[in-house]
Amino acid sequence: MRKHLGRCGLAATLTAALVAGTAVPAPAAAHHDRRLQVAVDDLHDLGITGVQGLTRVDGDTVRARAGVGDLERGSPVPLDGHFRMGSNTKTFVSVVVLQLVGEGRLSLDDTVERWLPGVVSGNGNDGRRITVRNLLQHTSGLYNYTRDITALGSQEGYLAHRYDHYEAADLVALATKHGPDFAPGTRWDYSNTNYILAGMIIERATGRTWATEVRARVLQPLGLRHTSEPGDRPSLPAPHAKGYHQWAPGGTLYDTTRFNPTVADAAGSLITTPTDLARFWQALQRGRLLKPRQMAQLHETVLADTWQDFIPGARYGLGIMFIPNRCGGYWSHGGDVPGMSTANAVDADGDRVAILSLSTQLADEDAAGAVSQRTSRLMDDVICGSE
């Protein structure tokens, strides 16, 4: 779940047990190797307890890591460990919706009311005015339910509610207690509520859960054996780094690895590895998942109005972002959950891809900004081929 779960501040001095970074280069990728290793080392120095990354440029794959996977034990970050991808889940869900569009089973112009009668109503919310396209593109105006999730606001709230189970309808009900932020189609603002509803529409259209459809339509065809939807399971598969969350600037880092991911559902519950996520992004951009018409729809973007201050020029398609840079731009979708974040970039042809998993959320805005800037610099260097 992106943005509203927060990026948190610079950690206090980390344990002396932090291990040196380790890179595994492809034979012909010496510079490629150095670029990734320098980046993960820098991110660790900025306060991220553990970083793992993967880059692939024209077939050459490099993996690198820095820091520790467990502050108490001082164990290294796994080179290709599992992590919660957060809102990158939205891209997978959007792909399934667009496949259904390509099969003629639903339309982007269908209303929410058409598929989910009465679900979006009250307090000025009107599912008759919100289309499937509005959901996927974050132009619905629906309130973002994650603002009301107690477990995301403090350490006390996290400990008290981290194992709470939520049904999708519960999450939508949290959102519709509030009026809409704007009329559908008139503005853009990120709302996890949109993708909870998209997951519900997938189930109504197919008779199967969104997670089952993602598995059948995306994970299995691409051989993504290490990507999964955990349901109520609060733990991560081994190997994995622990996630650490800092609730206040300069505060303690708390282990937030375990929580019930039903709070994220179709907006952000998937678990993956760098290798699997890189394969997904390359397959998507190479046209292996969508027909040409649906690929074009995926990439039809609008200005991401409320993100311009921290990602200038960012545009949002249907579950995918376009981020401009010095060589044009790249496609992406990051994600944040308590204690973990992921960043990625892929070029238009799927030939260049970068994946980062960061196992700390920092509370200080300046520190989090420095992490974001260093992350973006790596993405630019990989996509643009910087020397």
Paired tokens of 360: 């700390």
Residues with catalytic roles: 87
Given a contact cutoff of 8 angstroms between Cβ atoms, the answer to whether 383 and 302 are in contact is no
Burial (Cβ within 10 Å: 0-12, 13-18, ≥19) of residue 232: exposed
In 3-state terms the chain splits into helix, strand, coil percentages (rounded to 5) of 35, 20, 45
**Number of residues that make up the chain:** 387
Query: Rounded to an integer, what distance in angstroms lies between the CA atom of residue 273 and that of residue 128?
Result: 39
Give CA angle at 290 (298, 105), nearest 5°.
90
Residue 24 CB neighbours (<10 A): 15
Beta bridge partners of 345: 354
Q: Is 116 helix (H, G, I), strand (E, B) or coil?
A: coil
Query: Rounded to an integer, what distance in angstroms lies between the CA atom of residue 138 and that of residue 119?
Result: 18
Residue 65: in which H helix or E strand, if any?
Answer: strand 60-70
Residues 6+ apart with CB under 8 A from 16: none
CA dihedral 93, 106, 133, 141 (to 10 degrees): -90
- What letter would DSSP give residue 131? B
